[in-house]
Each structure stands twice: as C-alpha cells, then as structure tokens.
Amino acid sequence: MIEFIRYLKGYVLIKVWGFAPERFFNLCAGKNILLWNIRKEADAYYMCISLSGFKSLRKIAKKTKTRVVIKKRFGLPFLMPGLLKRKAFLFGLCLACFFWFVSTRFVWEISITGNNSLTDDRFTTFLQEEGIFVGCQKKNVDIESLEKEARKTFPEITWISAKFSGTELAISIKEADGASQSAREEGFADLYAEKEGTIVSMVVRSGVPMVKIGDRVDVGTLLVSGEVPVYNDDETIRKYRETYADADIVISRKENIYETLSFVREKKVYTGREKKKYVFRFFGKEILLGKEGGFPYYTMVEETKDVSIIKGFCLPVSFGKKVYREYLPTESMYTLKEAKRLLSERYKRILQGLSEKGITVLEKQVKMDSGDGNWILTGELTVEEKIGVQIER
C-alpha cells in the first residue's frame, strides 16, 4: 500500500556526491525529509525521495557542498503528461474503460450445476423462453421469477438458486432422488409405469399399491395410487386422504440390441499440409482472417480463448486460430477382426450406458452376422430397472 501511495504522488531516484554527504543525510533527517532505498556506489550515494522532499534539497545541497542529480523518475505525475500528448492512446483507453463499464451490465456466461436427469440443453431452452441468454441485460433477469418458473416447469427440481457473479449468471440446482418427490406442501400424485415389464420387487412408502410382484405392467399402468382410503369402524370408507405416491418398484424386461458396421470404410490419409487462419469473435460475430478451408478435403481444429478482465467478468470477445489439415479420402475393407473389435466396443458402451442409468443386466444373448454390405450385431438382454413416474392430479 505504501508503494502504491508513493507511486500516485511520484518520486525520483537521485545520486548524491560531494564534500559532506553525511551532513546531507543529517540535515534531511532534521527537516523530516524521507529517504529510502539508500545504497553507496564508489564515492556516490543513490536513494529515492518524494517530489515534495526533492524540492527542499537545494538549500541542503548548498550548505553541505554536495551535488544532487536525478537518475530516474517514477509515478503518476510523470506518466500523465506523456499520456496527454498521446491523444489516440488516451482516447483508446477511455473507450476501453467505457466498453468495460457497459459490458458489465450484460450476461456473458451462464453456468448450470447440480443437474443430472435435467440436461443443459433442456434448461438452456427454458432460459431462452424466459428471455435469458448470453448477451441479455442483467436488469431484464428477474432472479425470483426465474427460480419460481423453473420449479414450476421442472417438477424434478427441489431447490434452485440463481445469482450474478460479475458477468456470469450462476445457477445451482438440486433434483429429487429418483421418483421420490414427497416434500410437497399441497396436492397429490399417482405413480405410473413409464416402461413395460414384469414386477420383481416393490417397496411402497406412501400411497396404495395397485399392482403386485409378478404382475405384467405396460406403459401408463397405475402402480401406486395417491388416494389413501380412511375407514370407519364398520370398515366402510369414510374419506380419502391425498398424498404423493412414492415407491421403489423394479421390473424385469428385455432390451434389444442392433448395431451395424459397413464393410467399406473411408480412411483419411493426411498429406502433412496444413493452413492456419486466425479468428476473432465480437458479440457473436466471427471475423476470419482468410478464406475458410483451402483444401478439397480437410479437418479443422479450433483453438480459441475468451477475453476476461478478471475472474467472473467475461467479455463478449474471443480470439484464436483454426488449423486446417488436408487429407485424401481412400476406401478400404474392414477385416473380420477389426469389425469384431469395433462392434465389441459399441456393445461395451451400451452396457456401460445401462449401468450408469442404474439398470442391472441379468442375461446376455449376442451374436454377430453379415448381410446387405454390413457387419451386424444383434442381441437381447434381460435387465432389471427401477420404474415409476409421479403424475399430479
């Protein structure tokens, strides 16, 4: 902080030499003139002194028969005269400050965290329908209304928080655990099947079960009712208590697999030739220095960087380069070994995808064949998965 204040006020590096430099220091101390960064080189002394202190050295130098010379100048007072002479630079600086000031009043980045089943694309589409997008004004974003509409549009959201962090709109979401959304203030809902299969297990936490283990259910079958009967002493129904049906219901079903791979593949043989084009984006508009591509066949790799003054203050400006690499297309045939390897990788990705969704694979029947110019992978899996979607009424 002290260095910053000194820079604002301005100071100089001086060289002192002569008859009595020690007396020079004593007189400076007597007049409360601050000297710092003092060092001796040969018969001379170098030190820093403020501008106000330097103006008081003439009499002291005369009394001590020493000479004082300015070696270097530091600080804003020495910088401003140069800036005032450079009108174009000063105009550009003012324009940049104005541009930065205006840019901070817009949203230049939207981040969404905490969403699992709710995809970024779905929520981004919702934001656009609400008039919220990259480039919109902050004053047009009603945080309270956004949170309310999000909970209304997406029942799976149990908690949402939106806030501004510089030019970024940060949205945090918490979703309900599976089909359970019991924390409701009013209303009730039934639990329906969204897939068909045979029930192998069920645990009902709230509501009245309408099916049992071993039953075959189709899409739309009522699994658990949200209307719970309340009986009189004579076992007649007095009324119905409304609740949100909630249960863990697991079904067994079949999952079919069908993957094809053409006999012929296109192979890219890179020639080693490439071209680099620099790109500049400003408010969504792209300026490419040069023509797009440049080769009959090419692949493109883009490397861009967003301009950010400080963390959280992103500007609608980015720059970078596009690298175009030429290749020659050639055709070749997949060998049986290659086809098995590629289709096996696809099959593993299918199993991994099922596992990530919480689906358990019990039996696998898979085979590979050929026909109509393709290698064909077919199969049938026996799986178990949790079902049940709440529908309010």
Q: What is the pLDDT of residues 159-171, one digit of tens each?
A: 899 998 888 889 9
Classify burial at 224, counting beta carbons within 10 Å of its beta carbon; exposed 0-12, middle 13-18, buried 19 or more: buried
Contact 65, 24 (CB under 8 A): no
DSSP 3-state of 1: coil
Rounded (5°) CA angle 340-348-196: 120
Is 170 contained in some domain? Answer: yes
Please check whether residues 218 and 164 belong to one and the same domain.
Answer: no
Q: How far is CA 325 from the centre of its chain?
A: 29
Is 314 contained in some domain? Answer: yes
> Residue 373 carries which DSSP code?
T
pLDDT in tens, 41-75: 888 999 999 988 888 888 888 888 889 999 998 88
pTM: 0.46
Tokens 């791979």 map to which residue? Answer: 261
Structure tokens belonging to residue 56? 């008081």
**Residue 265: C-alpha distances to residues 108, 258, 260, 369 (Å):** 42, 19, 13, 18
Phi then psi for residue 320, to 5 deg, are 170, -150
d(CA 326, CA 296): 8
DSSP 3-state of 192: strand
Is 95 contained in some domain? Answer: no
What lies within 8 Å, CB to CB, of 364 at 6+ separation is: 379, 381
Contact 225, 207 (CB under 8 A): yes
Q: What is the mean pLDDT of residues 250-276?
A: 91
Is 85 contained in some domain? Answer: no
Is 89 contained in some domain? Answer: no
pLDDT in tens, 237-249: 888 888 889 999 9
Q: Which residues on neighbouring strands pair with residue 162, listed in sequence order?
A: 171
Q: What is the mean pLDDT of residues 27-51?
A: 90
Task: Work out whether the CA dihedral 192, 195, 200, 201 comes out positive or negative.
Answer: negative
Using alpha carbons, select from 99, 166, 160 the residue that is nearest to residue 138. Answer: 166
d(CA 84, CA 93): 12
DSSP 3-state of 272: strand
Please check whether residues 121 and 169 belong to one and the same domain.
Answer: yes
- The amino acid occupying position 162 is A
DSSP 3-state of 89: helix
Rounded (5°) CA angle 101-106-112: 135
DSSP 3-state of 267: strand
pLDDT in tens, 188-245: 889 999 999 999 999 999 999 999 999 999 999 999 999 988 888 778 888 888 888 9
For the chain, how many structural domains are there in total? 5
> How many alpha carbons fall within 13 Å on the CB side of residue 10?
13
Range of the domain at 147: 109-175
Is 91 contained in some domain? Answer: no
Contact 193, 221 (CB under 8 A): yes
What CATH number corresponds to the domain at position 30? 3.30.70.260
In this prediction, residue 237 carries a pLDDT of 83
% of the chain residues with pLDDT over 70: 91
Rounded (5°) CA angle 253-256-257: 145
**pLDDT class for 347, splitting at 50, 70, 90?**
very high
Please check whether residues 282 and 320 belong to one and the same domain.
Answer: yes
d(CA 3, CA 213): 78
Please check whether residues 15 and 71 belong to one and the same domain.
Answer: yes
What lies within 8 Å, CB to CB, of 292 at 6+ separation is: 277
Please check whether residues 71 and 135 belong to one and the same domain.
Answer: no
Structure tokens belonging to residue 47? 């030190």
Residue 127 has pLDDT above 80, yes or no: yes
Go through the chain and tell me how many residues it has: 393
Is 93 contained in some domain? Answer: no
Q: Of 329, 360, 376, which residue constitutes the final position of a domain? A: 329
